[in-house]
Amino acid sequence: IEREMRGAMGMICLLFAFALPSFCAPRIPEETMSTVDLIANAGYPVQEIRAVTRDGHILMIHRIPFGRNATPSSKPRPTVFLQHGLLASSADWVLNLPEQSLGFQMADAGFDVYMGNVRGNVYSRAHVNGSTVDRKEYWRFSFDEMAQFDLEAMVDKAMEVSGSNYVHYVGYSQGTMMMFAKLAREKQFAKKIKKFFALAPVVSVAHAKGPIVTIGRELLPEIELFIKMLGEEEFLPSSVITQFITRAACGASSITNPLCSNLLFALVGPNTNQLNNTRLAAYLSHTPAGTSTQNVLHWAQMSRSGRSEMYDYGSDADNLKYYGQTTPPKYDYSQVDVPTYLYHSPADLLSDPEDVEYLARTLPRTAVVENVMLKDFNHIDFVYGLRAATEIYAKIIREIKDHESNVVRD
């Protein structure tokens, strides 16, 4: 662990040392664009839609109602909902070129596309009672609350706006955990989800690898104590300084671009020759997009315990207060009753094959429609990879079209 920490810190120091002279190098415009700007810049229609959760969080949904070459129509379009991963935002679905981005590909396929943003990220930081991100109580949540409250509010809003009584759901990384957790505890929610496409699924991280996972797993008690001393608020807040370093060090013409990408590969999996390095600074400029420290601790807890369960409040008394029992409830994935498609790869350090196998084995046999093991996809390749469009997205679009062609509408 100590060797991994020294190596990571050394690479960060090198990046910073070489970053300053590179800051004035040419940049691509996507580095500073919002999701709305990214969509409009690519020539697509875009809408911002707000959804309010039962516990008062105001969430932003970004909608692409139709494709670049289509026109508005009263004819119903298949409704799809895309949910980003940890520390990310709706931008993930539209950061690549139109022929490489799932959000754009689905719009061009004739779908009504909704892209969610969970509480705490840059687009979803408002609350009905005025609670703001500078108040500690705002950040008391993990993916438990995202599953319980955020998904319901966003999916219901997408159904309301589209007029559909269901959505096809695509989740990536934490976006898969949210849906699996929701379906495990609320079977009735399955009526709203026609198909569930899980990209790099993570419901267990018992076998996940990489320096950050290792540090979190081995040093969890020390990390929890350190965080309690400093305050349990936002995790890795983005700032002018972090944006400066990212754009300077990771820009396409920066001499430290290879170091930047190699550091990323150390975290998510090996270089699979899918990453467009000229867009690396754009990817990293949109990450981290914000989450709570409690959420990151929750992932660390599951990594250390090897169990897929709700957040552990750290004492029998607190767990009893929140759950009515002294230990966190486990998620029971045998309750999931939605046609599910799993897409994963041995090259992914975070969605490990053993953990995916645990998920596939735990889900009802009738729920798993496809369990697809892909060759040479690291964790971020599922959203940024150059082969994702042909090896994953085209198949998802075809599955949805096949289903919708058999739907009888009023």
Query: Which residue in 127, 168, 344, 379 is the catalytic one?
Result: 379
Q: Is residue 239 part of a domain?
A: no
Same domain, 175 and 261: no
Q: Is residue 236 part of a domain?
A: no
- Please tell me the distance from the alpha carbon of residue 64 to that of residue 253, in angstroms, as a whole number: 32
- Which CATH number does the domain housing residue 52 bear? 3.40.50.1820
Verify whether residue 344 is a known catalytic residue.
no
Confidence category of residue 239, pLDDT binned at 50, 70, 90: low
Same domain, 66 and 181: yes
Q: Is residue 398 part of a domain?
A: yes
Q: Is pLDDT of 26 > 70?
A: no
Residue, of 236 and 323, whose pLDDT is higher: 323
- Please tell me the distance from the alpha carbon of residue 123 to that of residue 174, in angstroms, as a whole number: 17
| Sole residue written with tokens 């467009």 | 276
Same domain, 57 and 19: no
User: To 10 degrees, the CA torsion angle through 230, 222, 217, 335?
Assistant: -60
Q: Is residue 4 part of a domain?
A: yes
Q: Is pLDDT of 330 > 50?
A: yes
Same domain, 199 and 340: yes
Structure tokens given for 101: 């981005």
Query: Which residue in 101, 142, 173, 303 is the catalytic one?
Result: 173
Same domain, 19 and 46: no
Q: Is pLDDT of 106 > 70?
A: yes
Same domain, 164 and 42: yes
As a whole number, mean pLDDT of residues 257-266 equals: 91
Verify whether residue 379 is a known catalytic residue.
yes
Looking from the CA of 226 toward its CB, the CA atoms found within 13 Å total 8
When computed from its CA atoms, the radius of gyration of the chain, rounded to whole angstroms, is: 20
Nearest to 89 by CA among 157, 169, 155, 33: 33
Confidence category of residue 407, pLDDT binned at 50, 70, 90: confident
Q: Tell which of 287, 314, 343 closes a domain.
A: 287
47 near 65, Cβ under 8 Å? yes
Q: Tell which of 270, 287, 304 closes a domain.
A: 287
Same domain, 51 and 125: yes
Same domain, 87 and 167: yes
Structural domain range at position 75: 35-213+331-405
H helix intervals, 115-274: 143-145, 151-162, 174-185, 211-218, 220-230, 240-250, 257-268
Same domain, 125 and 178: yes
Report the predicted TM-score, pTM, of the whole model to 2 decimal places. Answer: 0.91
Q: Is residue 324 part of a domain?
A: no
Query: Which residue in 112, 348, 352, 355 is the catalytic one?
Result: 348
Same domain, 274 and 359: no
Same domain, 249 and 174: no
Verify whether residue 134 is a known catalytic residue.
no
Residue, of 4 and 268, whose pLDDT is higher: 268
Contacts of 181 (CB under 8 A, 6+ apart): 143, 144, 147, 203, 331
Q: Is pLDDT of 301 > 70?
A: yes
Residues paired with 193 in a beta bridge: 167
pLDDT of residue 19: 41
Q: How many domains does the chain have?
A: 2
Same domain, 248 and 389: no
Confidence category of residue 2, pLDDT binned at 50, 70, 90: very low
pLDDT of residue 16: 44
pLDDT tens-digit profile of 108-117? Answer: 999 999 999 9
Q: Is residue 198 part of a domain?
A: yes
Q: Is residue 299 part of a domain?
A: no
- Please tell me the distance from the alpha carbon of residue 359 to that of residue 361, in angstroms, as a whole number: 5
Q: Is residue 76 part of a domain?
A: yes
Residue 75 has φ and ψ, to the nearest 5°, of -70, 130
